Amino acid sequence: ATCICTEEPRQLLAELQAIEQAMGRVKVRHWGERCIDLDIIQMGEQAIDDIDLLIPHPGISERLFVVEPMIELLGADHKVPGLDDLGTLRHELKHHSISLCQDIDISGATVA
């Protein structure tokens, strides 16, 4: 999803982690299985390279399941800071495949 955020990146990260915890996420091991995973993919033109926070997300260029929705939201010409435009990233991932399992309408959803 895309959203307008007035929070600083670290505050947003803390809020996302709180949501994950509330939904039952338990961090057993790095890159291990989990019931939910909320990431900050990009925050405008910001670039952050800290041990616990990397923006833009370092896996963008490796994950078609991230690039395709970004193209739907932002367009293929959208440039990710430090990377190519999304259309180029999609082309470089042409050997990957994804499929939509279920389309869920969240247009009426509210955040508590």
Total number of residues shown for the chain: 112
CA distance 47 to 80: 10
CA distance 21 to 55: 21
Domain boundaries, the chain: 9-92
pLDDT-derived band at 13 (thresholds 50, 70, 90) equals very high
CA distance 3 to 73: 10
Q: Quote the CATH superfamily of domain 9-92.
A: 7,8-Dihydro-6-hydroxymethylpterin-pyrophosphokinase HPPK (3.30.70.560)
At 28 the pLDDT is 77
CA distance 109 to 105: 9
Encode pLDDT of 72-85 as tens digits: 999 999 999 999 99
At 83 the pLDDT is 92
On whether the CB atoms of residues 34 and 24 are closer than 8 A, the answer is no
Mean pLDDT taken over the chain = 87
